[in-house]
């Protein structure tokens, strides 16, 4: 599918003159992100506080303010309305040596959040154990039967992470049978009534920045980020020395970085600080499970890990446990201290990840065939619905652990909202992924009378429903999408940060761009465009020649390499001597002891004048 190139507006001379010490490309990238104030710029470009070697903290976080004095440049966790209440409750149960259960979720965000509180509370000598529900038999969030079993097993306090905000009835039941509950979550709460009250919320201490009336200023923490804020507050109230408090708080930031990147929340604001610092910790992590996973999966090739490694290599393997089996496997990897056990778990996760890839590919192929046969964006010339709703065929029940991944692939392929629905013992379960022009959670709210359970974000959702409501739900979702997307330009768009002359690309230019890492949601790795460049050479690489490597140049610079992984077929019509416009990422390539600037191909237009 052809994509529209959108080049962001060029900065003006006034902005350049205001900050003479910063390069033009840095100023352009800052401007593109809406970061234009002196203090904003200083904070964004500052390096993370702690630097680790062998797991030890060498220096503390910097950038303290009066309201954040113990928490570095981050916001104080005690800005949460219920934080004091929650911390007091946790400390009470630690002192009484009551059993505390961390009730997690089965994705990478939920598993890392569980591991954070397991690590911190365990260090503080709490009697603590985890509970992660089974994706298939229990589903997302608190469930009554699990609460009952935990109480029967001696639990006195349950702390939810990455879930629970829609568990009002389950929390009431827990209180009836004598369980204390704390909900930590980052998902959208139930819609408040017109009066603006929060009657639909669980009646317990809640740590969720999205709750109406919540004072915490940063609203976009991942589930692991919210769990970390609780951990931060508990540590600050502990009797540990200041040095030990800093060590414990910083030790878990590798987990916070993994969960935050994995959950695709914004990497601006406080999340940027957490991930930048967490990557420092991750690159020197003392967690044997992560070390073994990195080694067995050959994740970084002895280079520094970055957010890409988390998002595309570490997180998928952690998620594979909950998708293909049970998330306890991923949690065990993160908390084990035994190297042999860690190695065995890492190998198992690597194998599950391969199975996950195969299962996802099978579903995607079936859905593409359905779409093309019945009128898709590239299919027969019949009316095209504004949302793709695919239901598992009778001959093969799709694995509900991977339907969200399949929905993401389909949404990306056709640039439409996509919902993939499979059958289970209780009826049907679905997962959806969306595009920027369509809030999928608002769509589910309109269909709430047809759903048993639902939750998620504007771009991703999960839900369950009965067979009797399936066809009506499918029709209603498509009607909503047709209404909301009417007249919208649904051509996929490539956001380009700046037009750059090829002669500008060198080691210094790339170092300036790298100041904006870690890259992720709302802080994409910058894409640039160069026009009218000459293709001087073309070669294919890899098994079966699936990758392409170009040598390109213009009148003012020597030759520079541009690589496209998996793109050889896509650019098979390119010829030596062609003039092209090319969109790309920049990077330094290290090979055989040589380091040189290189482009990673995003898109090409052939025949530029």
In a shared domain, residues 467 and 546 = no
Q: What is the largest CA-CA distance in the chain?
A: 78
In a shared domain, residues 109 and 207 = yes
Q: What is the CATH number of the domain that holds 469?
A: 3.10.310.30
The last residue of a domain, from among 282, 314, 348: 282
Say yes or no to pLDDT of 339 above 50.
yes
* Cα–Cα distance, 554 to 191 (Å, whole number): 56
Place of tokens 């465009």: 529
Taking a C-beta distance cutoff of 8 angstroms, is the pair 314, 292 a contact?
Answer: no
pLDDT at 554: 85
pLDDT at 384: 61
Q: What is the CATH number of the domain that holds 538?
A: 2.40.50.460
Would residue 302 count as lying in a domain? no
pTM for the predicted model, two decimal places: 0.85
Would residue 366 count as lying in a domain? no
Dump pLDDT digits (tens) for 367-399.
999 888 775 544 444 446 799 999 998 778 999
In a shared domain, residues 601 and 536 = yes
Tokens of 110: 């939920």
Would residue 304 count as lying in a domain? no
* Cα–Cα distance, 461 to 186 (Å, whole number): 14
Would residue 353 count as lying in a domain? no
Taking a C-beta distance cutoff of 8 angstroms, is the pair 128, 121 a contact?
Answer: yes
Dump pLDDT digits (tens) for 555-590.
777 899 999 999 999 999 999 999 999 999 999 988
pLDDT at 72: 52
Would residue 322 count as lying in a domain? no
Q: What is the 3-state secondary structure (H, E, C) of 92-106?
A: HHHHCCCEEEEECCC
**Can you spell out the DSSP letters for 314-361?**
IHHHHHHHHHHS-THHHHHHHH---HHHHHHHHHHHHHHHHHHHHHHH
In a shared domain, residues 125 and 265 = yes
Would residue 138 count as lying in a domain? yes
Would residue 327 count as lying in a domain? no
pLDDT at 73: 63
In a shared domain, residues 84 and 200 = yes
In a shared domain, residues 172 and 133 = yes
* Cα–Cα distance, 319 to 107 (Å, whole number): 5
pLDDT confidence of 71, banded at 50, 70, 90? low
**Mean pLDDT across the chain, nearest whole number?**
89
Candidate from 49-53, 269-273, 275-279 with smallest mean pLDDT:
49-53
- Select from 404, 451, 454, 458 the least CA-distant residue to 435: 458
In a shared domain, residues 449 and 590 = no
In a shared domain, residues 69 and 178 = yes
The last residue of a domain, from among 458, 484, 510: 484
As for how many domains the chain has, the answer is 4
pLDDT at 61: 26
In a shared domain, residues 100 and 213 = yes
In a shared domain, residues 161 and 176 = yes
Dump pLDDT digits (tens) for 432-467.
999 989 999 999 999 999 999 888 888 999 999 999
Q: What is the CATH number of the domain that holds 108?
A: 3.90.1640.30
pLDDT at 48: 60
Dump pLDDT digits (tens) for 124-165.
999 999 999 987 778 778 999 999 999 999 999 999 999 999
The last residue of a domain, from among 451, 484, 517: 484
* Range(s) of the domain holding residue 393: 375-484
Taking a C-beta distance cutoff of 8 angstroms, is the pair 503, 557 a contact?
Answer: yes
* Cα–Cα distance, 73 to 303 (Å, whole number): 28
Taking a C-beta distance cutoff of 8 angstroms, is the pair 427, 466 a contact?
Answer: yes
Q: Give the H/E segment covering residue 177.
A: none
**E strands present in 458-545:** 460-465, 493-496, 498-499, 528-541
In a shared domain, residues 72 and 149 = yes
Would residue 291 count as lying in a domain? no
Say yes or no to pLDDT of 197 above 80.
no
Say yes or no to pLDDT of 240 above 70.
yes
* Cα–Cα distance, 460 to 417 (Å, whole number): 9
In a shared domain, residues 445 and 527 = no
Q: Give the H/E segment covering residue 153.
A: none
Dump pLDDT digits (tens) for 468-503.
999 999 999 999 999 999 989 888 899 999 999 999
């Amino acid at each position: 599918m052809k994509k529209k190139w959108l080049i962001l507006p060029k900065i003006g001379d006034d902005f350049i003159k205001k900050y003479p010490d910063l390069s033009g490309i840095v100023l352009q990238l800052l401007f593109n992100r809406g970061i234009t104030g002196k203090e904003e710029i200083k904070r964004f470009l500052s390096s993370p506080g702690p630097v680790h070697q062998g797991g030890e903290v060498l220096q503390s976080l910097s950038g303290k303010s009066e309201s954040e004095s113990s928490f570095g440049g981050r916001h104080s966790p005690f800005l949460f309305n219920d934080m004091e209440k929650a911390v007091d409750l946790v400390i009470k149960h630690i002192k009484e040596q009551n059993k505390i259960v961390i009730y997690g979720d089965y994705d990478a965000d939920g598993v890392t959040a569980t591991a954070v509180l397991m690590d911190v509370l365990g260090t503080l000598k709490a009697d603590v154990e985890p509970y992660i529900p089974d994706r298939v038999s229990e589903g997302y969030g608190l469930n009554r039967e699990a609460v009952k079993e935990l109480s029967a097993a001696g639990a006195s306090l349950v702390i939810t992470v990455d879930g629970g905000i829609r568990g009002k009835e389950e929390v009431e039941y827990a209180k009836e049978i004598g369980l204390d509950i704390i909900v930590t979550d980052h998902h959208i709460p139930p819609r408040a009534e017109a009066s603006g009250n929060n009657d639909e919320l669980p009646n317990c201490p809640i740590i969720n920045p999205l709750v109406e009336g919540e004072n915490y200023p940063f609203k976009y923490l991942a589930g692991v980020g919210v769990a970390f804020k609780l951990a931060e507050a508990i540590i600050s109230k502990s009797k540990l020395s200041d040095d030990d408090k800093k060590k414990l708080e910083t030790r878990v930031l590798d987990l916070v970085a993994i969960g935050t990147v994995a959950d695709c929340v914004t990497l601006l604001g406080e999340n940027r600080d957490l991930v930048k610092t967490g990557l420092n910790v991750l690159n020197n992590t003392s967690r044997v499970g992560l070390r073994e996973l990195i080694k067995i999966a050959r994740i970084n090739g002895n280079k520094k890990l970055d957010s890409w490694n988390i998002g595309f290599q570490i997180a998928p393997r952690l998620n594979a446990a909950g998708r293909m089996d049970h998330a306890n496997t991923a949690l065990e990897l993160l908390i084990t201290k035994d190297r042999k056990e860690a190695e065995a778990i890492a190998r198992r996760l690597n194998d599950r990840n391969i199975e996950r890839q195969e299962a996802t590919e099978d579903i995607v192929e079936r859905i593409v065939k359905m779409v093309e046969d019945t009128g898709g964006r590239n299919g027969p010339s019949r009316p095209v619905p504004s949302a793709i709703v695919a239901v598992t065929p009778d001959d093969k029940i799709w694995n509900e652990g991977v339907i969200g991944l399949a929905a993401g692939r389909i949404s990306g392929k056709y640039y439409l909202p996509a919902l993939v629905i499979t059958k289970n013992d209780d009826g049907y379960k679905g997962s959806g992924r969306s595009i920027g022009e369509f809030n999928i959670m608002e769509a589910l709210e309109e269909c709430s009378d047809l759903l048993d359970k639902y939750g998620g974000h504007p771009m991703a959702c999960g839900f369950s429903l009965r067979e009797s409501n399936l066809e009506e739900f499918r029709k209603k979702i498509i009607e909503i999408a047709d209404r909301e997307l009417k007249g919208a330009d649904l051509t996929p768009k490539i956001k380009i940060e700046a037009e750059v002359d090829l002669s500008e690309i060198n080691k210094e230019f790339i170092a300036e761009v790298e100041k904006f890492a870690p890259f992720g949601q709302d802080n994409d790795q910058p894409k640039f465009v160069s026009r009218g460049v000459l293709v001087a050479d073309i070669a294919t690489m890899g098994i079966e020649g699936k990758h392409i490597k170009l040598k390109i140049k213009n009148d003012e610079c020597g030759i520079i390499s541009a690589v496209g992984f998996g793109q050889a077929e896509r650019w098979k019509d390119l010829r030596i001597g062609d003039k092209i416009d090319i969109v790309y990422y920049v990077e330094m390539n290290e090979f055989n002891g040589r380091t040189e600037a290189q482009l990673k191909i995003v898109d090409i237009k052939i025949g530029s004048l």
